Structure 1
Amino acid sequence: MEAIMSRSVVLFTPQLTQVRGMATLKDIRLRLKSVTNIQKITKSMKMVSAAKYARAERELRPARSYGAGAKAFFESTELEQDKTQPNQMMVVMSSDRGLCGGVHSGICRELRNKMNENKGSVETKLVVVGDKARGILQRTFRENFLLSFNEYGRKPPVFADAALVANAILDVDYKFDVASLYYNTFRTVVSYRVTELPLFSQEHLAKAEKITTYDSIDEDVLRCYNEYALASLIYFAMKEGACSEQSSRMTAMDAASKNAGEMIEKLQMTYNRTRQAVITRELIEIISGAAAL
């Protein structure tokens, strides 16, 4: 019985080896085709992102004047934030689109560190713009969400988008003592920086010591200007984030195309070696069979 078992194993081993080699060739061929298609997609996305980045960079230059004017006004009043106040709000700028490196995760990481530092001592509410940041933050800070906005980032941001977010923040029933805006500041094609920008309510602005240096400042004028300044800062942050996102996506797709090219070379070499091994084995079997006859 043992002799029959051992002989049966020897007889079936070449057949299993041959089938395994054929299956490996097919798997490698399918994998090679899949990676080649992915490379075509990443190259196309890189070209699209390059065109969108050029437009975003052109639109960023005039948009920076909105942020510069609002920041200059707050700096001239010498307003300062007290981080120990109990009621705080953080506005996070992201988008609904991914495949752009660490643009969204970088902001969420910075925000998560801030939240963990203030955990237990202050109450922090989140206003999140974009599905990507919301998907990351809601895992651990779902109870801190105050507002969230989606359907953003598929088209270039306009001032109406910033006005919509600003109006929602002003209309919500939450009085904050300290507020900050988190966004990505565009630096170069391959670099950006997570930036924190302070936001002030009308009550804090009215208590500023140097607000009296401006003429004809009453409650109505102060309220209107504070609303416009909030929308201007959000619009400025949207433009900075959009330019950073497009440049990061272009860089990420370029790196993905290069990695796919390296994988194609390795798979092609593996495929050729495996195919040569299969052919060699088949020739050996044919020659061995002919010699046996």
Structure 2
Amino acid sequence: MTFPAPLTGVVPPVCTPLTPDREVDVRSLLRLVDHLVEAGVHGLFLLGSTSEAAYLTDRQRRCVVEAVVAHVGGQLPVLAGAIDMTTPRVLDHVAAVTDAGADAVVVTAPFYTRTHPAEIARHYRLIAAASPAPVVAYDLPASVHTKLPSELVLELAAEGVLAGLKDSSGDLGGFRTVVTGARVDPDITGFSVLTGSELFVDSALALGADGAVPGLANVDPHGYVRLDALCRAGDWDRARAEQERLCALFGLVGVGDPARMGGSSSALGAFKAALYLRGVIECAATAEPQVSLSADEVGRVGKFLAAAGLL
């Protein structure tokens, strides 16, 4: 499928179901994809943070992309993360995921070593020059420890280096700068600005964002598709109510005991537990070395689902 310009709507960052021995559960993965497609999502983002891409081997990453691309058969665009520390390593992932059929690649700033904005710009320019698919920047300072400057994003968008931005920075001012700049700069066309937040999709769309990449959309894709439609129809009161319901549901990410696990274990474990309880995936295992939820914590996830009308 040709990557749309701009990409709009709900693009879930797809969870990667695993077997008890931590291999990719392809059957559950494809059932999850069907769950999302049937809800009316507008694209799929594989191999992002919610996909546990950092925990997967290169073989597993390729398996995920090949399986999903073959299954959806061009029904909607498939974006794939090409996330690694340095430009040469990212280029290897770009080659792998585009060869497997991804319609676009999603790339963070380099990490591990500290990088200057000039080096970040060079990173993206080199990747775009070599990539056969459009490049979407992924602003994720919590993981890569570098904030993408809004001015740099707009500069690269005007050059045609970047086809979009997935903003998971939490910097609302910077996000607004990109949304506004992309709208008023005549050199920027077809550039997608997507929020990675679960909690202010309605606000982001009201600002002029093109869409959202919320991890919670794995659990309740119908809710986010409904929210997107209400915002586009200008029905802001109903949109706010739907957003508030989703905000309450998002509380499930905090079920894990912080004395024994990190926030990633809690959040990703809760997403997978919810999908298991909803009958979408067969096993709620998360990748090593993340800590699994207890039976009591899984029960608390079920209470969030019931309160949201999903069980």
Q: TM-score w.r.t. structure 2 length? A: 0.28
Query: Which structure's CA Rg is the greater one?
Result: 1
- Higher percent of residues as helix: 1
The structure whose RCO (Cα within 8 Å, separation 6+) is larger is 1
Q: TM-score w.r.t. structure 1 length? A: 0.30
- Higher percent of residues as strand: 1
